[in-house]
């Protein structure tokens, strides 16, 4: 394909290949935890019975199978996990030390079919008593269409409960959205007010791009390379880091020129996606650096969408503040290298 040669001639990019679409990687890489706890609030309401594309399966079946599949290779870095239904409330795997086999057994007990109503507000209320017992950072994966049986009548909307939890605890909401009506969208339009680590993810993106759940809980240490053992078929592109000036999120002209190459590849390969991770040096507070790393990765995503019409669904943003430096922050050059966005393209 012409675009492969176009990119391979650009020193900014490194072609990653594999044979027969079977990737072999060196597994002795360093993984950095980006959270301490993970809670899955799973939706087994009747709305999840809607078919998923042309798979012949419901959204519920697809989501359940994805959780089972990803549990098989998820790295155990000392997390505490919890799995709950809120339709209605049921403890499937009470928060405890993650154990792959026990978690797999818990997943096997999920209902065969989605049949119940949606008690989202009740689920978020119960979540409060769980979060207040946890230490460290928690990621809540909330599968929902945003609807709630208790809507109307002056009652607080689910978004109000979720926002309160985000401000009360060290928690990030990853809302996996199947919303398709106006009322339900309220939860998702408000998520930007929660904090800088919460986000809404389209159900399709979560299902088809594993990076959405893995990067929420861990990231690969920047000083290590993942190596491929083949040279036949292109499966991804790794680019040199995009660097930023101190306390800035604006792109230089050089970085914009490099993004033209990335945009060309994504536009020619609609099944590909780009995982983008924003970072900072260690100057400033943890909260400010988290926001700054968000603005850096957002600036790249927005530039690709606005200037090259790249499909936003192909862009997977993450931001980590100063938690994963590529080199020592004690020198000016080290801090410059740490003010970066890392980009990896995969999915071909």
pLDDT, tens digit, 9 for 90 and up, residues 258-292:
888 888 888 888 877 788 889 999 999 988 998 89
Predicted local distance difference test score (pLDDT) of residue 101: 95
Chain centroid to CA 243: 22
Per-residue pLDDT reduced to its tens digit, 26-45? 333 456 778 899 999 999 99
CATH number for the domain spanning 247: value is: 3.30.1330.60
On whether both 76 and 208 belong to a single domain, the answer is: yes
Identify the band that residue 23 occupies on the pLDDT scale cut at 50, 70 and 90.
very low
Please identify, among 217, 251, 286, the residue that sits at the C-terminal boundary of a domain.
Answer: 217
Identify the band that residue 6 occupies on the pLDDT scale cut at 50, 70 and 90.
very low
Which of 95-104, 180-189, 264-273 has the weakest average pLDDT?
Answer: 180-189
On whether both 207 and 252 belong to a single domain, the answer is: no
Identify the band that residue 192 occupies on the pLDDT scale cut at 50, 70 and 90.
low
Q: Residue 303: is its pLDDT beyond 60? A: yes
Q: Is residue 266 part of a domain?
A: yes
On whether both 248 and 289 belong to a single domain, the answer is: yes
Predicted local distance difference test score (pLDDT) of residue 17: 43
On whether both 209 and 271 belong to a single domain, the answer is: no
| pLDDT (average), residues 118-126 | 90
On whether both 72 and 125 belong to a single domain, the answer is: yes
Picking from 201, 210, 189, 258, the residue whose alpha carbon sits closest to that of residue 66 is 210
On whether both 204 and 88 belong to a single domain, the answer is: yes
| pLDDT (average), residues 57-71 | 92
Return d(Cα 319, Cα 302) in angstroms, integer: 15
Q: Is residue 195 part of a domain?
A: yes
> Other C-beta atoms within 10 Å of 301: how many?
20
| pLDDT (average), residues 71-79 | 86
Return d(Cα 329, Cα 336) in angstroms, integer: 9
Q: Is residue 110 part of a domain?
A: yes
Predicted local distance difference test score (pLDDT) of residue 124: 92
Range of the domain at 188: 31-217
CATH number for the domain spanning 71: value is: 3.40.50.410
Q: Is residue 180 part of a domain?
A: yes
On whether both 50 and 172 belong to a single domain, the answer is: yes
User: How many structural domains are present in the chain?
Assistant: 2
Identify the band that residue 24 occupies on the pLDDT scale cut at 50, 70 and 90.
very low
Tally the residues of the chain: 348
| pLDDT (average), residues 87-93 | 94
Please identify, among 158, 193, 217, the residue that sits at the C-terminal boundary of a domain.
Answer: 217
Largest CA distance in the chain: 62
Please identify, among 156, 183, 217, the residue that sits at the C-terminal boundary of a domain.
Answer: 217
Q: Is residue 223 part of a domain?
A: no
Predicted local distance difference test score (pLDDT) of residue 339: 95
High-pLDDT (> 90) share of the chain, %: 38
Q: Is residue 224 part of a domain?
A: no
Q: Is residue 40 part of a domain?
A: yes
Identify the band that residue 324 occupies on the pLDDT scale cut at 50, 70 and 90.
confident
Q: Residue 19: is its pLDDT beyond 60? A: no
Torsion of CA 139, 143, 146, 149, to 10 degrees: -110
Return d(Cα 35, Cα 136) in angstroms, integer: 7
**Given the structure tokens 């410059």, which residue do they identify?**
336
On whether both 113 and 256 belong to a single domain, the answer is: no
On whether both 81 and 189 belong to a single domain, the answer is: yes
- Give me the chain's average pLDDT, please: 80
Phi, psi of 100 (to 5 degrees): -55, -50
- Higher local confidence (pLDDT), 267 or 236: 267
- Higher local confidence (pLDDT), 14 or 206: 206
| pLDDT (average), residues 88-101 | 95
On whether both 15 and 70 belong to a single domain, the answer is: no
Which of 180-184, 194-198, 318-322 has the weakest average pLDDT?
Answer: 180-184
Identify the band that residue 108 occupies on the pLDDT scale cut at 50, 70 and 90.
very high
Q: Residue 321: is its pLDDT beyond 70? A: yes
On whether both 39 and 173 belong to a single domain, the answer is: yes
- Higher local confidence (pLDDT), 62 or 159: 62
Q: Is residue 337 part of a domain?
A: yes
On whether both 206 and 325 belong to a single domain, the answer is: no
């Amino acid at each position: 394909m012409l675009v492969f040669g176009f990119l391979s001639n650009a020193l900014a990019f490194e072609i990653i290949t594999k044979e027969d679409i079977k990737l072999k990687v060196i597994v002795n890489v360093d993984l950095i935890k980006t959270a301490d706890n993970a809670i899955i609030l799973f939706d087994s309401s009747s709305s999840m019975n809607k078919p998923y594309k042309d798979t012949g399966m419901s959204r519920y079946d697809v989501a359940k199978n994805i959780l089972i599949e990803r549990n098989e290779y998820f790295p155990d870095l000392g997390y505490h996990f919890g799995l709950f239904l809120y339709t209605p409330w049921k403890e499937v795997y009470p928060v405890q030390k993650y154990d792959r086999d026990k978690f797999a057994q818990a997943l096997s007990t999920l209902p065969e079919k989605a049949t119940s109503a949606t008690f989202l507000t009740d689920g978020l209320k119960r979540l409060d008593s769980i979060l207040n017992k946890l230490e460290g950072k928690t990621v809540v994966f909330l599968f929902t269409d945003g609807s709630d049986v208790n809507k109307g009548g002056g009652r607080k909307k689910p978004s109000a409960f979720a926002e309160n939890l985000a401000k009360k605890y060290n928690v990030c909401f990853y809302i996996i959205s199947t919303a398709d009506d106006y009322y339900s969208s309220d939860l998702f339009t408000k998520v930007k007010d929660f904090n800088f680590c919460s986000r809404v993810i389209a159900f399709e993106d979560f299902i088809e791009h594993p990076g959405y759940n893995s990067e929420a809980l861990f990231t690969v240490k920047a000083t290590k390379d993942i190596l491929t053992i083949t040279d036949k078929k292109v499966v991804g592109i790794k680019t040199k880091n995009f660097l930023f000036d101190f306390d800035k999120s604006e792109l230089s002209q050089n970085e914009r020129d490099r993004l033209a190459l990335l945009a060309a590849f994504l536009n020619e390969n609609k099944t590909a996606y780009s995982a983008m991770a924003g970072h900072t040096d260690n100057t400033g507070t943890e909260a400010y650096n988290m926001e700054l790393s968000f603005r850096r990765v957002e600036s790249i995503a927005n530039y690709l969408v606005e200037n090259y019409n790249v499909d936003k669904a192909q862009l997977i943003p993450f931001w980590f503040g100063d938690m994963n430096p590529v080199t020592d922050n004690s020198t000016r050059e080290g801090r410059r290298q740490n003010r970066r966005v890392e980009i990896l393209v995969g999915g071909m």
